[in-house]
């Protein structure tokens, strides 16, 4: 469990070589495209009937209509445990508070007298938000997807989540309650790649969307890849992961629990400890088996921690540890070191950074106010987590008057000539003759 990788005693290799040495889950999206492509094509051609048959075959649920009725949403909220409802309401309030500060305002720049460029921020018209329900019904993902879309001003929001046989073919009641709390009335009991196809092509009462967001398994990711271009997507998400950069000040019980909490998600989840303290590493490795045994999903966790995607990386010092975690570019990165805030400020690549002993990933998963839909598989090197900006498009509005155009006509002629595009110059020249 949690194999060791010892990088002490010599200079660290370059980023590319270092990345190859670190634990990482292998996600072969191409391997499932042959399965997902005909499924999506079936939904495109046959619509709701295809969805019904696929759902019956894969989920064991035969829903004549996969649209969730309003009374089911109302009932789920009415029957929601008061403690859970209070937690959802607090999570919503905190995520709304953080994301409200992400709103963009239109800006007009006067380039020259009589010539302006305005950047308008326009929300996507309609989005489909996917909420997983396989190994765990991620009702918190309803909050993380819906809130930024609402704050961005998206006018039409639909949610899809897999049907549950134990709940009469409806999505998990907690998922429905979260939708009801957020005022989402368009919800579909459909999961996997077929849900992405429903959003992309439209089926039944679901009209096509412009964008799909939300985490999912490899089949969901493959469907996103197939339909990308027809729809916008947030990312091609892989298995979830955590990296913890820790020194000898870290509490090994905390570190062990945090590694286990992420491994709980999925047998492919990655859990990586990077430390310059062999004593801490030994203590964590001693504690993990006992904590795993006491956990409900011990088989799933054991598989994740035994996998090639998890491990303990020993380094000479925190500076070397920073190089390692930047090369890894974790979805979630915890900093449990001396001067944790200063160390965190030096990190370049991470989906989200959790600073100090009292900021575990679980906090961000639910109620910190941050978003938990984050880049995985090293994609944090070049992409960000879900936010209000994810649902906005910047549109430049150009307005020049006659004199402002005349003042730059010569430059346009020169550039058009250099590119051998005389029609470009002619479109300006004709205005100079009238």
Burial class (CB in 10 A: 0-12, 13-18, 19+), 301: buried
Is 130 labeled as ligand-binding? Answer: yes
Is 240 labeled as ligand-binding? Answer: yes
3-state helix, strand, coil in the chain (%, to 5): 45, 20, 35
Catalytic choice (331, 396, 402, 411):
331
Is 419 labeled as ligand-binding? Answer: yes
Is 49 labeled as ligand-binding? Answer: no
Encoded tokens for 19: 């990345």
Helix (H), strand (E), coil (C) string for 152-182: HCCCEEEEEECCEHHHCCECCHHHHHHHHHC
264 tagged catalytic? no
| All residues at 6 or more sequence positions from 291 whose CB lies less than 8 Å from its CB, including other chains | 253, 256, 257, 260
Sign of the CA dihedral running 93, 98, 101, 102: negative
396 tagged catalytic? no
Classify residue 229 by its DSSP letter.
T
Q: What is the CA radius of gyration of the chain?
A: 25
**Helices 218-227 and 30-46: crossing angle, nearest 10°?**
60
The C-alpha atoms of residue 6 and residue 273 are separated, in whole angstroms, by 12
8 Å CB contact between 178 and 159 = no
Is 372 labeled as ligand-binding? Answer: no
| All residues at 6 or more sequence positions from 110 whose CB lies less than 8 Å from its CB, including other chains | 116
Is 365 labeled as ligand-binding? Answer: yes
The C-alpha atoms of residue 4 and residue 10 are separated, in whole angstroms, by 16
Catalytic choice (167, 254, 332, 372):
332
Q: What is the dihedral of CA 307, 330, 134, 183, to 10 degrees?
A: 170
Going from the C-alpha of 316 to that of each of 59, 219, 254, 335, the distances in angstroms are 49, 40, 22, 16
Nearest to residue 189, comparing CAs of 220, 158, 219?
A: 158
Known binding residues for NAD(+): 130, 194, 217
Known binding residues for Zn(2+): 262, 265, 365, 424
Known binding residues: 130, 194, 217, 240, 262, 265, 332, 365, 419, 424
Known binding residues for substrate: 240, 262, 265, 332, 365, 419, 424
Residues serving a catalytic function are 331-332
């Amino acid at each position: 469990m949690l194999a060791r990788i010892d990088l002490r005693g010599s200079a660290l290799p370059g980023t590319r070589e270092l990345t190859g040495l670190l634990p990482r889950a292998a996600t072969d999206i191409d391997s499932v495209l042959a399965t997902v492509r005909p499924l999506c094509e079936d939904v495109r051609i046959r619509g709701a009937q295809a969805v019904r048959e696929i759902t019956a075959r894969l989920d064991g649920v035969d829903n004549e209509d996969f649209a969730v009725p309003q009374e089911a949403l109302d009932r789920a909220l009415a029957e929601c445990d008061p403690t859970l409802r209070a937690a959802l309401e607090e999570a919503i309030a905190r995520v709304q508070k953080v994301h409200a500060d992400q709103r963009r305002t239109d800006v007009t720049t006067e380039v020259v007298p009589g010539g302006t460029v305005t950047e308008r921020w326009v929300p996507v018209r309609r989005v489909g938000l996917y909420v997983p329900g396989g190994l765990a019904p991620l009702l918190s993902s309803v909050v993380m997807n819906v809130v930024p879309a609402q704050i961005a001003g998206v006018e039409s929001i639909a949610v899809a989540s897999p049907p549950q046989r134990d709940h009469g073919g409806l999505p998990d009641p907690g998922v429905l309650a979260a939708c009801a709390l957020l005022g989402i009335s368009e919800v579909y009991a459909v999961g996997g790649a077929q849900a992405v196809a429903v959003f992309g092509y439209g089926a039944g009462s679901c009209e096509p969307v412009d964008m799909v967001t939300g985490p999912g398994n490899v089949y969901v990711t493959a469907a996103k890849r197939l339909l990308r271009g027809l729809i916008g997507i947030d990312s091609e998400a892989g298995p979830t992961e955590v990296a913890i950069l820790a020194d000898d000040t870290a509490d090994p019980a905390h570190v062990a629990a945090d590694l286990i909490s992420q491994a709980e998600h999925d047998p492919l989840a990655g859990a990586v400890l990077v430390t310059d303290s062999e004593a801490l590493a030994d203590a964590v490795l001693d504690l993990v088996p006992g904590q795993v045994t006491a956990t409900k999903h011990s088989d799933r966790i054991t598989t994740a921690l035994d996998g090639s995607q998890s491990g303990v990386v020993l380094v000479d010092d925190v500076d070397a540890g920073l190089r390692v975690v930047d090369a890894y570019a974790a979805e979630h990165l915890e900093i449990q070191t001396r001067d944790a805030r200063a160390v965190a400020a030096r990190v370049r690549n991470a989906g989200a950074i959790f600073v100090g002993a009292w900021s575990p990933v679980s906090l961000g998963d639910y109620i910190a106010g941050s978003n938990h839909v984050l880049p995985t598989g090293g994609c944090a090197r070049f992409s960000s987590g879900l936010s209000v900006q994810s649902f906005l498009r910047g549109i430049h509005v150009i307005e020049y008057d006659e004199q402002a155009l005349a003042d730059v006509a010569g430059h346009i002629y020169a550039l058009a000539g250099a590119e051998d595009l005389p029609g470009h110059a002619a479109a300006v020249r004709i205005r100079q003759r009238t």
